[in-house]
Structure 1
Amino acid sequence: MFSIQTFIRPHLLSLKPYSSARDEFEGEASVYLDANENNLGSLAGGVDYNRYPDPYQKTIKEKLSKLKGVRPEQIFIGNGSDEAIDLLVRLVCEPGKDEVLLLPPTYGMYEVSANIHHIGIQRVPLDEHFQPVFEKIAEKQTERTKILFLCSPNNPTGNSLAPNTVEKLIRSFNGLVVVDEAYIDFTDTPSWSTRLDEFPNLVVLQTLSKAWGMAGLRLGMAFASPEIIGFLNKIKPPYNINAVTQELVSEALDKTAQLGDMLDVIIQERTRLMEAFATLPLMEKVYPSDANFVLVQVPNANDLYGYLLKRGVVVRNRSTQPGCANCVRITVGTPPENDHLLEALQTYAAQNSA
């Protein structure tokens, strides 16, 4: 049976976390003289911002608990999901000794975080359908392999990973399995967060940057056992989510009906783009997508990227990623933005077929 206690870096087990003023006093008072705040107010638009924010984001967690079907003690809130990735690496990986396992092509911050902390990296490429190969992954794990990162729906390919394979990996992997679900809202695939109680080694990442349209606020979530969440809270900075973000996110979480309307538009536009791409001769392959972007393969990704840039359209050239030769990742825009993109692609196709 997996026990996070055996994976935590030994010196962190006994770490005494920083105790902030808001840790030591919760409640209401008429005069606050405990946190060295400026009691005269704030120059940032209101007196509220002169006070430190809730270090554990209790209001947001209560709302997320109802929305996601998990308990508040199973939720970690980070400055983007990148903070959770960084903290997980720091929590269980000894620099210069341990390693993480990645399945390229995948989200680049897993590798960056490992490199920052001098953690080894093992790689098992996804297959030709961008799916994990269980046997090859199992062969790569050693006693030094502490985290397996899975991105589903995957970035930059857009597809969801096969649930049966993901479950086999969670059950068999002797370490943390982190399933990054940044794009989960754009698919009907159930979140792995609904199965946290089955798998003590499972961590699920989500974000408000994509479907919720709050990339500029930088708020990500990790869902895991209360024990894992407790350790993440122990090693995080004391006030990692600012007051403005907490206020705006709390308001946004009450607008699930509007979220549904936005998702409908994005998914409809994704379908429209994919159907249009399929008719263009320059598109050698249009990959299936469960995200808010579409990966396409073209004869010359560098040339297409440069052409679109001259037309005022910025896409992402993913040609350097394993298995993505001459591939371009195109985010689903607004209907007028997508009209502009398609007109540019049609012109480019006509010019290159002459």
Structure 2
Amino acid sequence: MFNLNDILRENIKKLIPYSSARDEYKGEASVFLDANENSFGSPLETNYNRYPDPLQLKVKQRITEIKGVPAKNIFLGNGSDEAIDLLFRAFCRPGIDNVITVPPTYGMYEVSANINDIEIRKVNLLPDFQLNLEGIAEAIDEHTKLIFICSPNNPTGNSIDRDAIQTILTNFSGLVIVDEAYINFSRQKTFIQELTEFSNLVVLQTLSKAWGLAGLRVGMAFASEEIIEVLNKVKAPYNINQASQQLALDALQNIDQVNEWIRQTISEREKLVSNLLKLEFVNKIFPSDANFLLVKCSSPREIYQFLVDKGIIVRDRSKIELCEGCLRITVGTPEENNLLIQNLQTYTPKTTNLLK
């Protein structure tokens, strides 16, 4: 049975969060003399002399309209990476607790664990890139606090079986974090719909991918009100700057444009699969529910460098377990995808690779 207080660190339970001027007075006024700001303004066309809303309520209200999730169940962070780090800091005791990841997967889970001195237990995905439920069950002990599942998964591109995730949610007494950074490109529905059923569920999403706002660093976490309160308690007071809040709010009005980009990306993804498979050095393309493809090929490092020399940058994933021989290729614009294929059609493997 999941109980939040059973996994929350004692110092976080007792923590009195920093109270900012904007926390203590949330209303409108004509004169603000409470936060030691520069009352003359800022040397920019838009004034940024005032501190931003620490809880980003206008942005959350728009997300509520789009996602159907109450604002009290939404946390906004400096990218999803902030939410990941805060989960470690709030729920995992350094040098004592552990978390489970399922490689190959997003690398920041391990980086955050190492930064926070938390043991990381890796249970590799099965050859079909699905969860090893038996292995996960064996890895769990009384000090296991978090399990990270990326779906659609990075770098493999596939969605993780929903029933398997629900099995873990039902049987694990810690938090299960389902990272849905690529959910907009997937045929699978979001786990946000399961928040009322599973109190130990945290769903991560982002404005960096489908919404095209990677430069703003705005990530989202959806969870129970209890969990969101913990994240807000631990976060920095003004973790999302005013410019990012306003630009994110502006972007969130343009849902039709984003949906059109998603449709184009999915269409281009299928074209890219078809064209890549025509190349003799491409051995396999794994099914993708994301805006990228995991492509198994001969001589991946040589192909990577060939593309670099042509000014085209992909990601070499060939040294990652279960991704041996693979490049990860983001789906670009039609022009970018055509340029990629045109250059790959001119690639000739070096005979020296036969001796490697």
Q: TM-score range by the shorter chain?
A: over 0.9
- 1:294-344 CA-to-partner distances (Å, cap 9, x unmatched) read 001111111111101001100000112110111100001111111110011
Partner of 2:227: 228
- SS of the residue corresponding to residue 221 of structure 1 reads strand
Partner of 1:11: 11
Partner of 1:218: 217
- Distance in 2 separating the partners of 1:64 and 1:22: 22
Q: How does 1:154-173 map to 2 (within 5 A)?
A: 154-173=153-172
Q: Give the Å deviation of 1:45.
A: 2.9
Q: How does 1:31-50 map to 2 (within 5 A)?
A: 31-47=31-47, 49-50=48-49
- SS of the residue corresponding to residue 277 of structure 2 reads helix
- Judge conservation of contact 2:299–2:349 (CA < 8 Å) in 1: no
Partner of 2:345: 346
Q: Give the Å deviation of 1:31.
A: 1.2
- Distance in 2 separating the partners of 1:138 and 1:345: 44
- Distance in 2 separating the partners of 1:188 and 1:252: 24
Partner of 1:141: 140
Q: Which amino acid aligns with 2:297?
A: V
Q: Which amino acid aligns with 2:14?
A: S
Partner of 2:306: 307
Q: Give the Å deviation of 1:350.
A: 7.6
- Judge conservation of contact 1:130–1:157 (CA < 8 Å) in 2: yes
- SS of the residue corresponding to residue 50 of structure 1 reads coil
- 1:110-161 CA-to-partner distances (Å, cap 9, x unmatched) read 0000000100010100011111011111111011111000000000000000
- Judge conservation of contact 1:77–1:222 (CA < 8 Å) in 2: yes
Partner of 2:125: 126
- Judge conservation of contact 1:170–1:201 (CA < 8 Å) in 2: yes
Question: TM-score, normalised on structure 1?
Answer: 0.98
Would you say how many aligned residue pairs link Structure 1 and Structure 2?
352
- Distance in 2 separating the partners of 1:299 and 1:173: 41
- Judge conservation of contact 2:295–2:328 (CA < 8 Å) in 1: yes
Partner of 1:107: 106
Q: Which amino acid aligns with 1:34?
A: D
Structure 2: tracts of 5 or more residues without a match? none
- Judge conservation of contact 1:101–1:124 (CA < 8 Å) in 2: yes
Partner of 1:22: 22
Q: How does 1:54-133 map to 2 (within 5 A)?
A: 54-133=53-132
Q: Give the Å deviation of 1:351.
A: 7.4
- SS of the residue corresponding to residue 77 of structure 1 reads strand
- SS of the residue corresponding to residue 282 of structure 2 reads coil
Q: How does 1:324-335 map to 2 (within 5 A)?
A: 324-335=323-334
Q: Which amino acid aligns with 1:127?
A: L
Partner of 1:270: 269
- Judge conservation of contact 1:282–1:349 (CA < 8 Å) in 2: no
Q: Give the Å deviation of 1:273.
A: 0.3
Q: Give the Å deviation of 1:221.
A: 0.2
- Judge conservation of contact 1:280–1:349 (CA < 8 Å) in 2: no
- SS of the residue corresponding to residue 340 of structure 1 reads helix
- Judge conservation of contact 2:2–2:172 (CA < 8 Å) in 1: no
- SS of the residue corresponding to residue 142 of structure 2 reads coil
- Distance in 2 separating the partners of 1:185 and 1:241: 23
- Judge conservation of contact 1:205–1:220 (CA < 8 Å) in 2: yes
Structure 1: tracts of 5 or more residues without a match? none
Q: Give the Å deviation of 1:278.
A: 1.5
Q: Give the Å deviation of 1:66.
A: 1.7
Q: Give the Å deviation of 1:28.
A: 1.6
Q: Which amino acid aligns with 2:37?
A: E
- Distance in 2 separating the partners of 1:162 and 1:172: 16
Flag as ranges the 4+ runs of structure 1 deviating above 2 A.
44-47, 349-353
Partner of 2:288: 289
- Distance in 2 separating the partners of 1:188 and 1:230: 31
- Distance in 2 separating the partners of 1:339 and 1:283: 16
- SS of the residue corresponding to residue 293 of structure 2 reads strand
Partner of 2:180: 181
Overall identity of the aligned pairs, in %: 52
- Distance in 1 separating the partners of 2:283 and 2:44: 52
- Distance in 1 separating the partners of 2:59 and 2:203: 17
Q: Give the Å deviation of 1:349.
A: 4.7
Q: Which amino acid aligns with 2:75?
A: F
- Distance in 1 separating the partners of 2:46 and 2:71: 30
Q: Give the Å deviation of 1:44.
A: 3.3
Q: Give the Å deviation of 1:30.
A: 1.5
